[in-house]
Structure formats: structure tokens, C-alpha cells
Amino acid sequence: MQHDKEVDTRGLNCPLPILRAKKALTDVKSGQVLKIVATDPGSVKDFEAFAKQTGHALLEHALANGEFTFYLKKR
């Protein structure tokens, strides 16, 4: 998927992936897509909740080779 910025949170546990994503979202414009790569299994539920609470769209998330990839579209 096409993205405008990427954040690598591999090796970080909750709540750091969310905090890094939140900070990165301040650097992108409305409608742009942020890609987040994480290894924390809890990040799936965290990013789903984060998207609901903030109004950003969680476009896609996938697991490959022990890494979770999330695509958030800024509201």
C-alpha cells in the first residue's frame, strides 16, 4: 500500500508503538497515510482502539514474519 511516512516500532512494547505513531501523525497532512511496523502482538488491539478513539482510519493491518504492519489514514 502507498504511504507518506513510515514509523519503525519493532522491539517496542505498549504503549510506545502508539505514542510513536501519534507523534508521527503530527508530521503528515489530513488524508495522508502512515505506515507503522511493530512486533508487539498487543499492538493489533491497541491500533484498532486508537483509530476508533482518534477518528483516524485503520486502512489495513497484516502479520508477516512476526511483524505487524498497520496503515493509518490521518483524519
Q: State the residue range of the domain holding 32.
A: 5-73
Residue 52: the pLDDT is 97
Tens-place pLDDT, residues 28-71: 999 999 999 999 999 999 999 999 999 999 999 999 999 999 99
Tens-place pLDDT, residues 3-37: 999 999 999 999 999 999 999 999 999 999 999 99
Catalytic status, residue 14: yes
Sign of CA dihedral 43, 47, 49, 54: positive
Residue 43: the pLDDT is 96
pTM tops 0.75: yes
Residue 33: the pLDDT is 98
What CATH number did the domain enclosing 62 receive?
3.30.110.40
Catalytic residue, chosen from 14, 57, 58, 59, is 14
Query: Looking at beta carbons, which pairs linking 43-47 to residues 24 or more positions away fall under 8 Å?
Result: 43/9, 43/14, 43/17, 43/18, 43/68, 43/70, 44/68, 46/14, 46/15, 46/17, 46/18, 47/17, 47/18, 47/21, 47/72
